[in-house]
Structure 1
Amino acid sequence: MWHYVAKRIVYVIPIAIGVTVFCFALVFLAPGNPVQMLLPADATQEVVDLVMKTYGLDRPLPLQYWTWLQRAAVGDLGVSIQSGRPVLDEVLQALANTVILSLGAVLVAFSIAFLLGTLAAYHRGSVTDRGVTALSIVGVSIPNYWLGIVLVIIFAVEFNWLPATGMGPGGSETFDPFLWDHFRHVILPVVTLCMVPVGMITRTTRSAVSEALAHEFVNTLRAKGLGELAVVRHALKNALPQVLAVMGLQFGYLVGGSILVETIFNWPGTGALLNKAILTRDIPVLQGTILVLALVFVLTNLLVDLLQTAVDPRIQRA
């Protein structure tokens, strides 16, 4: 087991290095000069050159990458061109806000989808199965930004039951899930984000549980006199690794792909930070945010891989 864990961790190292190359090079493909966002339109070339030298943007790209990589390895992602704050502080604060939404959406989606998928698999071919399958297709098909707008119109504008924007009352930048005034702000964005994971995890659970129930060991368990609940429990244990894999992927996608939902609900997460950095051409923030999100996705997949091995040791590779 420990040999397998060490091997998977070693595999992450070249992936992480490749991620740094991609994150550094990607932002330079966009047109425009970030220095122009800081200086007035009538700034002289001498002033532009001075600012470029100050931020190290006048050096060759390989040298810029090597310097950036050395600093990033010790947690120094530079300073924001627009705010002057350390990039790592801004990214970690925004990431914590995004994780609140993503983790809430995945947990809600897993709870609902695992139950629906199990019911559909156990009653395969029935009306329940067809109904659950239809719901999962609807969940996957609905664009989350459109759903977010509809939920705002219904629950925030028409009925005024839930707030439409922000993390808390009065524009609070902190979130306390144990306070109702704060918790009610997270309901609409979490519901918006969880629809696609509900559809994906439901379909995966149905497929995995159906496959497990078709195995010969299920007939053996029933022949030994086990009740249906115990039989389903054994089938779920065999289906859990596949479901965990999909759940981990969905969490990674939500952390890195919630920019539209965060914009709709004015949630100060990584999506909003990326949107602001793109508009202002804040290269250090762009690089730092993309790097952290990519590493979170890689580490999430590593964690899911290890959890799969803990649940079912048969998936270990030599």
Structure 2
Amino acid sequence: MWLYAARRLLMTIPIAIGVTVICFALIYLAPGNPIQSLLPPAATAQDVADLKHAYGLDKPIPIQYLIWVRHALTGNLGLSIQNNQPVLGEVERALGNTVPIAVISVVLAFAIALALGILAATHVGGILDRIATAIAVLGISVPQFWLGVILVIIFAVELGWLPAEGMGPHGSDEFSFFRWSDAKFAIMPIIALTLLPLGILMRTTRASIAEVLALDFIQTLRAKGLGRGAIVVHAVRNALPQILAMAGLQLGYLLGGSILVETVFSWPGTGFLLNKAILTRDIPLLQGTILVLAMAFVGINLAVDLIQTAVDPRIKRA
């Protein structure tokens, strides 16, 4: 097990290198010039050259890449072009705002999907199976940002029950889920983020449990007189590693894939930060955010793989 974990850690090195190369290349292939947004219209060519030199943008791209990677290894992701603040601090604050709602969304989706998946798998072809499948299809099909807009229209504009945007009346620095005045700001973003992982996890749960229920050992348990509830527990335990793996992937996706949802609700998380960096062409901020999110996704995949190995004795890895 430990040897396998060490091997998996070593495998993340080429993945990390590939992530840095792709991240760096894609940003420089995008149109636009971040320097122009910082200079007045009357700026001279010398002003442009001086500012490029200050940010190291006058060097060849391969040299810029190597310098960036060297600094990134020490935790220095550079300074934001727009506000001249350390990128790492900006990303840490945004990640601290995204992680709670992402975790809550995945846990909520996992709990609901597990219940619906069990009902669907034990009533294949029945009305419960059709209802659960319809919910899963709805979750996968409905765009999250569109759902966010609908929630704002209903609960913020029409009913006035929930605030439409922001992160608490006192801002993100003093936000607490244990205060209703703050927590109500997170309700609609969490609902919008929960729908997609709910649909994916429900389908995974139904398929995995139905597959296990069709195995020979389940028929043996029935022949021995084991009750329906106990059989379902055995099926869930056998299907759980696959479901947990999918839940981990959904968590990684929500950390960086919630750009539109966080923008709709003005939630100052990683998605909102990415959107701001893209719109302002803030290259250091964009590079640093993508790098941190990509490595977080790799880390989550590694953790899920190791957890799956630990909870499923059928998986033997040296």
* TM-score category (smaller protein): over 0.9
Within a 5 Å distance, the mapping from 1:39-188 to structure 2 comes to 39-188=39-188
Unaligned runs of 5+ in 2: none
| 2:267 equivalent to 1:278 | no
SS of 2:174's equivalent in the other structure is: coil
Partner of 1:27: 27
Sequence identity (%): 60
Task: Show CA shifts across 1:12-49 (max 9, x none).
Answer: 11101111111111111112221111111111111111
What's the offset of the Cα at 1:315? 2.7
Partner of 2:252: 252
What's the offset of the Cα at 1:225? 2.8
2-structure distance, mates of 1:4, 1:316: 10
Q: Tell me if the contact between 2:97 and 2:172 (Cα under 8 Å) persists in the aligned partners.
A: no
What's the offset of the Cα at 1:170? 4.5
Unaligned runs of 5+ in 1: none
1-structure distance, mates of 2:22, 2:172: 35
2-structure distance, mates of 1:32, 1:186: 34
SS of 1:315's equivalent in the other structure is: coil
1-structure distance, mates of 2:50, 2:139: 53
1-structure distance, mates of 2:280, 2:13: 32
2-structure distance, mates of 1:122, 1:43: 70
Partner of 1:15: 15
What's the offset of the Cα at 1:175? 2.1
Higher alpha-carbon deviation: 305-314 or 209-218: 305-314
SS of 1:314's equivalent in the other structure is: coil
2-structure distance, mates of 1:290, 1:21: 12
SS of 2:42's equivalent in the other structure is: coil
What's the offset of the Cα at 1:317? 4.5
Higher alpha-carbon deviation: 224-233 or 154-163: 224-233
What's the offset of the Cα at 1:223? 2.5
What's the offset of the Cα at 1:167? 1.0
Matched AA of 1:197: P
Q: Tell me if the contact between 1:263 and 1:271 (Cα under 8 Å) persists in the aligned partners.
A: yes
Higher alpha-carbon deviation: 61-70 or 166-175: 166-175
Q: Tell me if the contact between 1:4 and 1:316 (Cα under 8 Å) persists in the aligned partners.
A: no
2-structure distance, mates of 1:100, 1:261: 15
1-structure distance, mates of 2:18, 2:76: 18
Partner of 1:204: 204
What's the offset of the Cα at 1:68? 0.6
Task: Show CA shifts across 1:207-266 (max 9, x none).
Answer: 000000111111222233322211111111110111112111111111111010001101
Task: Show CA shifts across 1:66-97 (max 9, x none).
Answer: 11101101110001111111000000100111
Q: Tell me if the contact between 2:309 and 2:317 (Cα under 8 Å) persists in the aligned partners.
A: no
SS of 1:313's equivalent in the other structure is: coil
Matched AA of 2:53: K
Task: Show CA shifts across 1:133-159 (max 9, x none).
Answer: 111111111111111111111111111
Partner of 1:224: 224
